[in-house]
Amino acid sequence: MSYNSIYFSGLFIVLFSHQIILAQNKDSAAIISYADKMQIKLNVDSHLENYYVSNNESETDLNLALNNDLRLTLLLDYKIFSLSYSFTPDFLPGNHGDENKGESSYSDFSVSLYPGQFVQELTYQRMKGFYVVNTADFVANLPEDSAYLLFPDLKRTFYGGSTAYILNSDFSIENLVYQREWQRYSTGSFVPRFNYSYAEFSNDFEDFKGKEKDFDFSLDLNYYYNWVLAERFNLSPYAYGGLGTRIQNYRQSGDNLNEKESNTYFTQEYGGGLQLGYNTDKFLMGARVSYKSLNYKNASDLRIQNDSWYGLFFIGYRLDPPENLKRIGDQF
């Protein structure tokens, strides 16, 4: 092992240990909490979910994507919980299906809880209708009005969750990700996170039926930093990396066809982003750019990669909760 490797490994251990010590010494003046307020928020983002399939014999990846450009998310936060619903309405630019790239649909429902320094998330997601972005790399001279290969019945259904722990109690991840708090001075934190999910791909085409079931488990190490630029502005970079395992079951059936296959793969994931935020006691807004990637090699030595680049804009307002909701919230 080189001197530099030893140095950076030692530095990482020192920083990580320092975060554990900080977690035991909370400074109540470091964070302003708005947990007693009901927060209503609207997000608009370009959540572009692409799937890449490649092999060692070809220099060209097969790129599958939805024919949706913008996603709208409605969020409600109060006390220790947050609810969100995302969809891709037709009135947003780029969400109009067409014969060329086909029709796509997307919906997402999430619940988040914040007990102490833990963050618990549960998510349901469904998407349908994909097209091959780089069709021209595989099929030449297609007419302009049908220039893409379509998979209108290809569906992905996802059930997942994550459990994270904030090592530095004076760092507010709720400021960065959920805007339920405000960080009063600059600080950062390591945040280990355990992810678990079940996803199902299915596609029916005439007499052919195919279904893939994926069980994923992974452990990430995240680092977030809140840099307070001014009293009401902050800039927050973050990055993460992790390793995991995927248990995959695949079945296809049709005329004279009935095949099953089960495999286990190791997965790699990484990502990062940058957010600029503005906050008052009632009004909040900001913007974020993010990237995430998950990849692995399957039994046929095909490299499967799921990449997402997206920008996000959010705006929200805090107000006093209705009495009925307040009575429920007072129980927490």
The predicted structure's pLDDT at residue 80: 84
The predicted structure's pLDDT at residue 200: 94
Structure tokens that stand for 245 in this block? 């395992």
Read off the pTM.
Answer: 0.82
Residue 116 zone, left/alpha/beta (φ > 0; ψ -120 to 50; rest): left
Q: For Cα atoms 302, 304, 307, give the angle at the middle one, nearest 5 degrees.
A: 155
Cα distances (Å, whole numbers) of residue 74 to 39, 88, 105, 205, 271: 11, 12, 17, 35, 24
- Dihedrals φ, ψ of 329, to 5°? -65, -30
The predicted structure's pLDDT at residue 106: 93
| Contact assessment for residue 152 and residue 129, using Cβ atoms and an 8 Å cutoff | yes
The H or E element spanning position 119 is strand 118-132
| Contact assessment for residue 154 and residue 132, using Cβ atoms and an 8 Å cutoff | no
Dihedral (C-alpha) 199, 62, 44, 126: value to the nearest 10 degrees?
-20
3-state DSSP call for residue 277? strand
Residue type, 202: S
CA neighbor of 112 nearest in space, from 67, 78, 88:
78
CA neighbor of 201 nearest in space, from 291, 126, 253, 103:
126
Altogether, the residues listed in the chain come to a count of 332
Domain residue spans of the chain: 3-329
Alpha-helical segments (H) within 141-234: 173
Beta-carbon contacts of residue 305 (< 8 Å; ≥ 6 apart) = 51, 52, 53, 54, 61, 293, 294, 295
The predicted structure's pLDDT at residue 94: 82
Annotate 215-269 with DSSP letters as a single string: EEEEEEEEEEEEEEEETTEEEEEEEEEEEEEEEEEEEEEETTEEEEEEEEEEEEE
Residue 30 zone, left/alpha/beta (φ > 0; ψ -120 to 50; rest): alpha
Blockwise average pLDDT, block size 10, the chain, 332 residues? 40 44 52 91 85 66 86 93 92 83 93 92 95 86 83 93 95 87 93 97 79 94 95 94 93 78 91 95 95 82 78 96 82 72
The domain 3-329 is placed in CATH, from the list 2.60.120, 1.10.1060, 2.40.128, 3.40.50, at: 2.40.128
| Contact assessment for residue 307 and residue 292, using Cβ atoms and an 8 Å cutoff | yes
The per-type count for the chain, helices as H runs and strands as E runs, is 3, 16
The predicted structure's pLDDT at residue 7: 41
Residue type, 240: Y
Structure tokens that stand for 95 in this block? 């969400």
